Amino acid sequence: MADYVNEIKRRRTFAIISHPDAGKTTLTEKLLLYGGAILQAGSVKGKKANKHAVSDWMEIEKQRGISVTSSVLQFEYNDFCINILDTPGHQDFSEDTYRTLMAADSAVMVIDASKGVEAQTKKLFKVCLLRKIPIFTFINKMDRAAMDPFKLLEHIEAELGISTYAMNWPIGSGKEFKGVYERDHKRIIAFHGGDHGMKAAEVTEGSLEDDTFRSILGDHFFEQLREDSELLDIASTEFDEAAIAKGELTPVFFGSALTNFGVEPFLSHFLNMTTSPLPREASVGEIDPFDEHFSAFVFKIQANMNKAHRDRIAFMRICSGKFEKGMEVLHVQQGKKIRLAQPQQFMAQDREIVEEAYPGDVIGVFDPGIFAIGDTLCDASYKFEFKKIPTFAPEHFARVTQKDTMKRKQFTKGITQIAQEGAIQVFQQIDTGMEEIIVGGVGVLQFDVLEQRLQSEYNVEIKLEILPYQCVRWIDDQTLDPHTLNLTSDTKRLKDLKGKNLLLFMNNWGIKWATEQNKSLSLSEFGNME
């Protein structure tokens, strides 16, 4: 029992959110380096050419032979057991990216110091807000020309509407990025070497009162730091643990993942400040991770991970109880008991069977087509359902028609199954049913995947016609008849596969019109929120 409690307490399950190129992969690699999971950082970057085909981590995995599923990367650091959840970015950006955040207990937001908050970071941040999870900010690339740190904090607050608290402060930037100042211990960490990021950075540490740092940092930077630190103490928001826990205040760290400067101070603070696995809302109230009844929910389904096997893997996050290989659990939505016989993790190219796992961990199980996103698995003696995972508003839309209308059945089956996995969302015009199908995706790549999968798995050829719509919103009051609404002529009335009514707009202006003209109408960016 003591072991069980300790295993949970030492777990940290988080996702890294960022805009492409801000440095998520580099930072992840450096966390592995500091965790001792790899001995030397390096060439992961060199092999970026066909990056969109495989996740960045699959690359790391192949090169280093570390245990990585395509969904989670697990490693030890001091006494912590860390699970970093992969949030696919770049061309892979899709609903999976959002859903992964449903399985995280906190998020690390990586921001490029010269670019500030970018589009994809904003989108992912919104999902973190929805979950009210703690968000830790790592301002990266301080070894290059950077915005003024005070300006950066203001910018984050203005763009994201979150308060900031600088945990440390950069000393210089660009070629003159000399170190960071840790505000809690009033300690200077001056960087040397770091072997261009191949090895852990070498540092000299000491107090702000210690005048030897005047010569280490140089007069100018030393004086500047003293000034900045006084200003920070006067001007900054108060440190407030409760606000951090609710995601209202983000602790901010400065550093450079490439040179390793500031990576270790970030990691050690972050791991101590962030949370071990959190309770999760369910139909019977909150489920406590320390509850010994097993429970988990499915947050991602991945098809055809292995071409030779043509299978699907359902990834689930364990929320309570110890998982043991072969255990029998209740699949609540299907009302059936199933045996979790072959839970998988991936070691290099081969699948590795997981013997045991704890709350906070993610396991992948073979899915013969029975799982859907959000499904609950639990101990049959204590049955409940976890709160549903929201459906995220897609931003790309296409009309799908079949080339060969004789294959109606396969088409319907294929498109429904692919939608069930959560790869795309399927909408129908309210009065026409399956006759006209509109698909929506968070990323455009999803349409290519749909076309190719319908062809190869269901032998159905389709024609895709990209539509100029940009936003979809669910109607909050589902008893409201969409025909009675006063809408612009280019707004479409649709329903999703669950029969929920929603509206498809050309742009934000259409949304504004709709809510202004129809006082009883309220709209939501997330579906499935009951």
Contacts to ligand GDP from residues 121-180, by CB under 6 A: 140-141, 143-144
20 annotated ligand binder: yes
Stretch that binds ligand GDP, among 23-31, 96-104, 177-185, 416-424 (CB under 6 A): 23-31
Minimum Å gap between C-beta 64 and ligand GDP is: 16
Residues 239-298 that bind ligand GDP (CB under 6 A): 256-258
Does residue 141 have a known ligand-binding role? yes
The values of phi and psi at residue 187, to 5°, are -125, 135
Q: Contacting ligand GDP (CB under 6 A), which of 13, 26, 250, 302?
A: 26
* 300 scored as a contact of ligand GDP (CB under 6 A): no
Flag whether 391 is marked binding.
Answer: no
Given 13, 25, 120, 391, the residue binding ligand GDP (CB under 6 A):
25
Rounded-to-integer distance, Cα 26 and Cα 462, Å: 39
Closest C-alpha to 249, from 262, 260, 259, 236? 236
23 is in an annotated binding site: yes
Helix/strand/coil for 346: strand
Which of 233, 68, 263 is closest to 165 using CA atoms? 233
Q: Would you state the structure tokens that stand for residue 177, as one six-digit string?
A: 């990025």
Among 8, 15, 22, 437, binds ligand GDP (CB under 6 A): 22
Instruction: Tell the smallest beta-carbon distance from residue 329 to ligand GDP (Å).
Output: 35
20 vs 279, which CB is nearer to ligand GDP?
20
- Between CA 337 and CA 345 the distance in angstroms is 23
Q: For 354-408, list the strands marked E by DSSP.
A: 356-357, 362-367, 376-378, 391-392, 396-402
DSSP type of residue 209? T
Question: Which residue blocks in 218-350 are alpha helix, DSSP H?
Answer: 219-235, 241-245, 263-273
State how far the Cα of 349 lies from the Cα of 342, in Å rounded to an integer.
17
Q: Which is nearer to ligand GDP, 152 or 257 (CB)?
A: 257
Among 92, 133, 99, smallest CA distance to 390 is for 99
Residues with Cβ within 8 Å of residue 381, at least 6 apart in sequence: 293
- Outline where 108-209 has alpha helix (H): 119-131, 149-160
- Rounded Cα gap, residues 137 and 140, in angstroms: 9
Size of the site for ligand GDP (CB under 6 A): 16
Of 259 and 295, which has the nearer Cβ to ligand GDP? 259
Least distance (Å) between residue 187 CB and ligand GDP:
22
88 marked ligand binding residue: yes
Does 396 count as an annotated binding residue?
A: no
Residue 21 Cβ vs ligand GDP, minimum distance, rounded to whole Å = 4
**Least spacing, CB of residue 257 vs ligand GDP, in Å:** 4
* Among positions 14, 15, 17, 23, the unique one binding ligand GDP when judged by CB under 6 A: 23
- Told to check if 20 binds ligand GDP by CB under 6 A, we report yes
Query: Please, which residue, 87 or 106, has the CB nearer to ligand GDP?
Result: 87
Q: Whole-angstrom Cα distance, residue 47 to residue 60?
A: 10
- Name the minimum Å distance from CB 91 to ligand GDP: 11
Q: Toward ligand GDP, which CB reaches closer, 30 or 280? A: 30
Per-residue binder mask for ligand GDP (CB under 6 A), 33-52, x = binder: ------------x-------
Interior/surface letters 139-152, b for 16+ CB within 10 angstroms, e for the rest: bbbbbeebbebeeb
* CB nearer to ligand GDP: pick between 24 and 312: 24
19 is in an annotated binding site: yes
| CB contact set of 300 (below 8 Å; sequence gap of 6+) | 71, 96, 99, 100, 103, 314, 315, 373, 422
The annotation places the binding site at: 18-25, 86-90, 140-143
Q: Which residues bind ligand GDP (CB under 6 A)?
A: 18, 20-26, 45, 140-141, 143-144, 256-258
The annotation places the binding site for GTP at: 18-25, 86-90, 140-143
